[in-house]
């Protein structure tokens, strides 16, 4: 037979072999996790030193038209035509129009092109023209929701009208405002689902400027309220030049001394206020990111960018090394540019590229795909 000592020895060797296999497996798993982390860290923090021109398309009318990103395509609009182009510069559809000052607003698959200070407005989707409106009063501003519902501010002397239309151009609701009550509408924003409208009014209170931010609900909750207004907030000695809906239940109002976040799917309420003593040079937002740019007096960078979430928490800070005429979010990246330089940052404030564009003077730049950008030049 086999002695007990031999059996114990075999058992011990088996246990040692099993333990070593477990240790080797754990070490391999830890090594793989470390490698994945290193690759992700490198990708997230990689900064490109140069770029390569992949394709170049010559347009003969860039002075009279403008370009903007529209889904995965490019919207080209001017006084006599609106067209959708794919990333190769090929025309998907075009629509003639007559406008002196065409202005655009886009939300998901719908966009509105309107003649600022004029009376013509057209609603488009990715398939082409969806509806049109001819107003009786000059248009100050228009904003579109994700299903084509459009809010329009119309000028009528000391009176202004805020009309809301469906995608066919039929009026859903109208509200009358005056300079003295509740004020002059400075900016508007409509939620993606078209249910809520935010309006920033400017008025005079005790011989000082004041702002009134009002919310209108076009569903059942607002039907029993005067002009569908469900909530409003007054800010004395403060100017609110910009209001933006980030999603169906969250809006941000940018003040001249910070910003206010409102939340609520039916009756928006003020949830948090972020104030600053510094001069605000630029603001931008999209989704759950709110950005503010200041002059930087503490480092070598001329500007400082701060990124907040929708709870008002400061998430990231970055120095900006170039001056800029434009800054905004394009497909989950922050793009800023001036006449001949541009920079690209992630939403975690990591710089992907910062430097000159040698091909000409920049009219606009936006992201069209992974590591692919379209630059429209003034020539």
Q: Which pLDDT belongs to residue 236? A: 95
Taking the C-alpha atoms of residue 201 and residue 257, their distance in angstroms, rounded to an integer, is 16
More confident residue, 20 or 338: 338
The CA distance from 317 to 307, in Å, is 6
- Nearest-angstrom CA–CA distance, 262 and 239: 17
- What string of DSSP letters covers 280-346? P-EEEEETTEEEEEEE-SSSSSSEEEEEE-TTS-EEEEEEE-S--SEEEESSSEEEEE-SSEEEEEE
pLDDT for the residue numbered 7: 62
In this structure, of 44-48, 205-209, 221-225, 370-374, the range with the lowest mean pLDDT score is 44-48
Residues 170-194: tens digit of each pLDDT: 998 888 888 888 999 999 999 999 9
CA atoms within 13 A on the CB side of 222: 22
**Contact between residue 316 and residue 349 where contact means Cβ atoms under 8 Å apart:** yes
Average pLDDT for 88-107: 92
Cβ proximity of 230 and 195 under 8 Å: no
> Which one has a higher pLDDT value, 40 or 107?
107
pLDDT value at position 148?
94
Closest of 194, 196, 255 to residue 221, by C-alpha: 196
Q: Which residue has the higher pLDDT, 148 or 158?
A: 148
The span from the CA of 110 to the CA of 123, in Å, is 7
> What pLDDT is stored for residue 59 in this prediction?
73
Strand (E) or helix (H) holding 95:
strand 91-96
Structure tokens at 36: 């994945």
Element (H or E) spanning 35, and its range? helix 4-45
| Average pLDDT for 279-299 | 94
Band (41; pLDDT cuts 50, 70, 90): low
* Cα gap 276→187, rounded to integer Å: 22
């Amino acid at each position: 037979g086999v002695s007990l000592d031999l059996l114990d020895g075999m058992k011990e060797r088996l246990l040692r072999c099993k333990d070593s296999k477990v240790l080797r497996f754990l070490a391999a798993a830890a090594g793989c996790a470390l490698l994945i982390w290193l690759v992700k860290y490198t990708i997230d923090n990689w900064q490109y030193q140069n770029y390569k021109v992949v394709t170049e398309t010559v347009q003969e009318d860039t002075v009279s038209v403008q370009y903007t990103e529209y889904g995965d395509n490019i919207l080209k609009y001017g006084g006599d035509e609106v067209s959708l182009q794919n990333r190769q510069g090929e025309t998907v559809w075009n629509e003639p129009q007559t406008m002196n000052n065409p202005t655009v607003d886009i939300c998901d698959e719908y966009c509105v092109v309107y003649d600022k200070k004029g009376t013509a407005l057209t609603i488009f989707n990715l398939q082409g023209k969806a509806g049109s409106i001819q107003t009786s009063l000059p248009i100050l501003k228009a904003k579109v929701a994700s299903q084509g519902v459009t809010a329009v501010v119309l000028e009528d002397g000391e009176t202004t009208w805020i009309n809301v239309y469906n995608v066919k151009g039929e009026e859903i609701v109208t509200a009358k405002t005056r300079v003295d009550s509740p004020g002059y509408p400075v900016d508007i924003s409509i939620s993606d689902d078209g249910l809520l409208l935010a309006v920033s009014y400017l008025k005079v209170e005790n011989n000082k400027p004041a702002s009134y931010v009002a919310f209108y609900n076009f569903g059942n909750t607002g039907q029993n309220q005067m002009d569908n207004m469900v909530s409003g907030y007054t800010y004395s000695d403060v100017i609110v030049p910009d209001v933006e809906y980030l999603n169906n239940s969250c809006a941000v109002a940018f003040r001249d001394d910070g910003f206010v976040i409102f939340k609520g799917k039916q009756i928006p309420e003020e949830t948090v206020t972020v104030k600053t003593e510094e001069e605000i040079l630029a603001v931008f937002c999209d989704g759950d990111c709110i950005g503010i740019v200041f002059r930087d007096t503490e480092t070598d960078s001329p500007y400082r960018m701060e990124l907040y979430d929708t709870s008002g928490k400061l998430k990231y800070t970055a120095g900006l090394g170039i001056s800029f005429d434009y800054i905004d979010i394009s497909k989950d990246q922050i793009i800023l540019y001036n006449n001949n330089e541009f920079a690209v940052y992630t939403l975690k404030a990591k710089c992907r590229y910062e430097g000159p564009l040698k091909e000409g003077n920049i009219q606009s730049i936006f992201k069209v795909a992974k590591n692919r950008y379209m630059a429209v030049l003034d020539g």
